[in-house]
């Protein structure tokens, strides 16, 4: 694991510490190290009242993995009483703690973690998150990596993308609030922080503390780059000059390779004859490529599935060449496109699913054929499929009102009434009963949640993505385990065994009912601690005899009671 600079040389530059303490730092190339701190301690507390003063720091970093498909260690900005955290394990917890000192008050460590691995033991929310840690790697608050636009739209980012990102950590000593903002360097600083925490840091920090960075060592190869870093007490850190940023060596290597390739091409095409021949070849290659684009191979065993097959040419035209503006969303199984079949003008939805396992393709197609035969008014109908190389395209009916989660969370002005909520729950229950009990074989959904429930033009609920989890399992390496479910809806036994059944579906459906009824996600990371887990919170309300206290306030409690009374009266 390397924490190193991007530039030819290393140098410290410091302004006068005191009224304007500031540090800029680039790190040595190929320096195998777990922690690096500014050499001098910084005074954090006002000696007159012993409270932590305001401070601000910003840095630009990049994490470049050798293998992008794997997760790995992240990086943490650290405020520590020492310039070395000697009790920490080098390969765990970002080099901040060991098993024996997690959560101890005597640690006096505050950190902002940028983590690419999900450690269940400390409650990590996912494998791509930022968290505020105090004396423990268990974050006080955390959020997935991304940023908010000026229109309050959340944009996801990936730590292991290799792209440079800028981080601001700002503490207001008067308001006792710490804000963390992260964003790509090609956009302006967002107005809304990614994380905000009301917390007085005075009990956790000494008068003088060290500042720096920490990361664990490990077996996977990741390069961690700090391009520039500024720290300032009693004021906002200076804006960074992005035009003077050093380049990442990884980019330099790619540029050098590109230049060499260009030189070879230019050498071959110096003469007019060579250039003409090159253009002719390119033009011919384009024509051949366009013809091959729509060439499909129908294997012998695939004939039995013929009635369910669409041509790739029709799907390509329906989605206008899979243009970005036709994308409806990005789910756990791939991108989803809106389209119109050219032959019938019927609106459709197309899901692109990658499938790299050749030996499992026949079983994959058999599952699709089974799903295509399902008929129920509360299931999204699979119209057919298209197979092109190692990619499968699934074609579904188009649902004009989109997914249920948009109604529950994203459209406050058109909130569902309790009558509609109850009908939606009944619709999904009917679909699930059909999959479990009424079809010729049991079909496990594996991922029941509002995002997989579609609403048609008559506000009927239709369960979608049924069977897709199993389809993706067929494409996985049998030596690996894959739990196809969403955190928050996963039954305890599914998390431990990885085996889904009708009971794990019913568990997820129970959480789905609570979510629709109460208008809350199963896990709310920004909620008060006693309200983080929806099921636990409702059980607490039940135990207190105040079950109606948790109902979404946008619809009257009386309406909910009146609606349920006939169904609960026996």
Answer whether residue 491 shows pLDDT above 80: yes
Most confident stretch, 32-41, 78-87, 144-153, 358-367? 144-153
Answer whether residue 215 shows pLDDT above 50: yes
Mean pLDDT (whole number) for 492-521: 89
Least confident of 170-174, 187-191, 480-484: 480-484
Whether 492 and 561 map to the same domain: the answer is yes
Region of residue 95 (phi > 0: left; psi between -120 and 50: alpha; otherwise: beta): left
The pLDDT score that the predictor gives to residue 562 is: 53
How far apart CA 60 and CA 457 sit, in angstroms, is 48
217, 111, 235: which is closest to 167 by C-alpha? Answer: 111
User: How does strand 222-233 pair with strand 2-4?
Assistant: parallel
The pLDDT score that the predictor gives to residue 495 is: 79
Mean pLDDT (whole number) for 82-94: 64
Mean pLDDT (whole number) for 505-518: 92
The pLDDT score that the predictor gives to residue 359 is: 46
Domain count within the chain: 4
Say whether 546 is catalytic: no
How far apart CA 187 and CA 151 sit, in angstroms, is 14
| Residue stretches of the annotated binding site for ATP | 351
DSSP conformational letter for 43: E
CATH value at residue 331: 3.30.200.20
**Tens of pLDDT along 15-48?**
323 333 333 343 433 334 477 888 889 999 987 7
Q: Maximum Cα–Cα distance for the chain, whole Å?
A: 91
The pLDDT score that the predictor gives to residue 219 is: 47
**Tens of pLDDT along 398-434?**
999 989 988 888 765 567 888 899 999 999 999 999 9
Length in residues, the chain? 570
pLDDT band at 552 (very low <50, low <70, confident <90, very high): low
Average pLDDT, the chain: 77
199 vs 17, more confident: 199
How far apart CA 259 and CA 268 sit, in angstroms, is 14
Answer whether residue 113 shows pLDDT above 60: yes
Q: Which residues pair with 329 in a beta bridge?
A: 336
The pLDDT score that the predictor gives to residue 482 is: 45
Whether 53 and 165 map to the same domain: the answer is yes
The pLDDT score that the predictor gives to residue 406 is: 87
Mean pLDDT (whole number) for 225-245: 87
How far apart CA 465 and CA 455 sit, in angstroms, is 14
Answer whether residue 11 shows pLDDT above 50: no
Residue in 447, 465, 473, 505 annotated catalytic:
447
Domain boundary among 397, 430, 448: 397
How far apart CA 197 and CA 216 sit, in angstroms, is 26
DSSP conformational letter for 93: G
CATH value at residue 71: 2.60.120.200
Domain boundary among 397, 432, 457: 397
139, 182, 138: which is closest to 158 by C-alpha? Answer: 182
Whether 316 and 454 map to the same domain: the answer is no
Whether 276 and 193 map to the same domain: the answer is no
Least confident of 25-39, 139-153, 318-332, 359-373: 25-39
Mean pLDDT (whole number) for 486-512: 89
Domain boundary among 246, 279, 310: 246
User: How does strand 334-340 pair with strand 382-388?
Assistant: unpaired
pLDDT band at 224 (very low <50, low <70, confident <90, very high): confident
The pLDDT score that the predictor gives to residue 498 is: 81
The pLDDT score that the predictor gives to residue 526 is: 82
Answer whether residue 474 shows pLDDT above 90: no
Most confident stretch, 80-89, 143-152, 310-319? 143-152
DSSP conformational letter for 407: I
Whether 329 and 379 map to the same domain: the answer is yes
CATH value at residue 450: 1.10.510.10
The DSSP element (H or E) to which 260 belongs, if any, is helix 249-268
Q: Which residues pair with 226 in a beta bridge?
A: 61
pLDDT band at 265 (very low <50, low <70, confident <90, very high): low
Least confident of 5-14, 61-70, 133-142, 452-461: 5-14
Mean pLDDT (whole number) for 256-283: 62
Whether 216 and 140 map to the same domain: the answer is yes
167 vs 28, more confident: 167
- Residue 281, domain extent: 253-293
Q: Output the six-digit token pair for 566.
A: 């006939």
Whether 534 and 439 map to the same domain: the answer is yes
pLDDT band at 290 (very low <50, low <70, confident <90, very high): low
Burial call 445-473: b when 16+ CB within 10 Å, e when fewer: bbbbbbbbbbbbeeeebbbbbbbbbbbbb
Whether 367 and 454 map to the same domain: the answer is no
Whether 564 and 483 map to the same domain: the answer is yes
Answer whether residue 212 shows pLDDT above 70: yes
Query: What are the phi and psi torsion angles at 94 (to 5°)?
Result: 55, 25
Judge contact between 236 and 22, C-beta under 8 A: no
The pLDDT score that the predictor gives to residue 301 is: 52
| Residue stretches of the annotated binding site | 351
Whether 263 and 334 map to the same domain: the answer is no
pLDDT band at 561 (very low <50, low <70, confident <90, very high): low
pLDDT band at 182 (very low <50, low <70, confident <90, very high): very high
Judge contact between 485 and 451, C-beta under 8 A: no
Answer whether residue 195 shows pLDDT above 80: yes
The DSSP element (H or E) to which 274 belongs, if any, is helix 272-293
The pLDDT score that the predictor gives to residue 456 is: 92
Whether 541 and 435 map to the same domain: the answer is yes
Q: What percent of the chain lies above the pLDDT cut of 90? A: 29
Whether 392 and 408 map to the same domain: the answer is no
């Amino acid at each position: 694991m390397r924490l190193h600079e991007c530039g030819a040389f290393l140098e410290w530059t410091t302004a006068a510490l005191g009224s304007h303490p500031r540090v800029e730092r680039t790190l040595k190339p190929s320096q195998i190290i777990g922690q690096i701190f500014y050499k001098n301690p910084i005074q954090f507390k006002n000696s007159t009242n012993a409270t932590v003063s305001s401070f601000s720091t910003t840095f630009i970093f990049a994490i470049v993995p050798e293998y992008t498909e794997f997760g790995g260690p992240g990086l943490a900005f650290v405020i520590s009483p020492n310039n070395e955290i000697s009790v920490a394990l080098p390969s765990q917890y970002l080099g901040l703690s060991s098993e024996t000192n997690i959560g101890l008050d005597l640690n006096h460590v505050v950190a902002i973690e940028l983590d690419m691995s999900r450690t269940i033991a400390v409650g990590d929310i996912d494998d791509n998150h930022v968290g505020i840690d105090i004396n423990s790697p268990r974050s006080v608050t955390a959020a997935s990596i991304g940023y908010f636009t000026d229109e309050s739209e959340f944009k996801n980012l990936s730590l292991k993308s290799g792209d440079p990102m800028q981080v601001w950590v700002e503490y207001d000593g008067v308001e006792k609030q710490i804000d963390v903002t992260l964003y790509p360097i090609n956009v302006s600083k967002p107005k809304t922080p990614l994380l905000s925490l009301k917390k007085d840091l005075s009990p956790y920090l000494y008068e003088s503390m060290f500042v720096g960075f920490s990361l664990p060592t490990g077996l996977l190869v990741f390069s961690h780059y700090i391009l520039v870093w500024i720290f300032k007490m009693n004021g906002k850190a200076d804006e960074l000059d992005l035009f003077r940023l050093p380049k990442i060596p990884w980019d330099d290597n790619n540029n050098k390779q590109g230049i060499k390739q260009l030189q070879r091409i230019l050498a071959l095409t110096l003469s007019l004859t060579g250039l003409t021949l090159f253009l002719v070849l390119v033009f011919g290659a384009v024509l051949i490529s366009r013809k091959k684009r729509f060439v499909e191979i129908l294997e012998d065993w695939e004939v039995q599935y013929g009635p369910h097959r669409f041509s790739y040419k029709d799907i390509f035209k329906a989605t206008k060449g899979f243009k970005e503006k036709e994308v409806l969303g990005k789910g756990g199984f791939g991108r989803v496109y809106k389209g119109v079949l050219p032959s019938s003008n019927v609106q459709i939805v197309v899901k692109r699913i990658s499938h790299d396992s050749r030996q499992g393709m026949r079983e994959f197609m058999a599952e699709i054929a089974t799903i295509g035969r399902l008929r129920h008014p509360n299931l999204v109908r699979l119209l057919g499929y298209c197979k092109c190389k190692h990619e499968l395209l699934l074609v579904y009916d188009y649902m004009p009102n989109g997914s249920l989660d948009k109604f529950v969370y994203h459209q406050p002005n058109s909130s569902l009434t309790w009558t509609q909520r109850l009908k939606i729950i009944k619709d999904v229950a009917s679909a699930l009963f059909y999959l479990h009990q009424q079809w010729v074989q049991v079909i496990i959904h594996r991922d029941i949640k509002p995002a997989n429930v579609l609403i048609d033009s008559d506000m009927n609920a239709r369960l979608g993505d049924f069977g897709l989890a199993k389809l993706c399992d067929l494409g996985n390496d049998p030596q690996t385990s894959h739990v196809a479910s969403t955190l928050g809806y996963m039954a305890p036994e599914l998390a431990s065994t990885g085996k889904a059944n009708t009971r794990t579906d019913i568990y997820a459906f129970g959480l789905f009912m609570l979510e629709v009824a109460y208008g809350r996600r199963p896990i709310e990371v920004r909620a008060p601690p006693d309200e983080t887990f929806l099921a636990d919170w409702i059980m607490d309300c039940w135990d207190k005899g105040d079950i109606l206290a948790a109902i979404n306030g946008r619809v009257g409690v009386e309406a909910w009671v009146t609606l349920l009374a006939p169904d609960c009266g026996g």
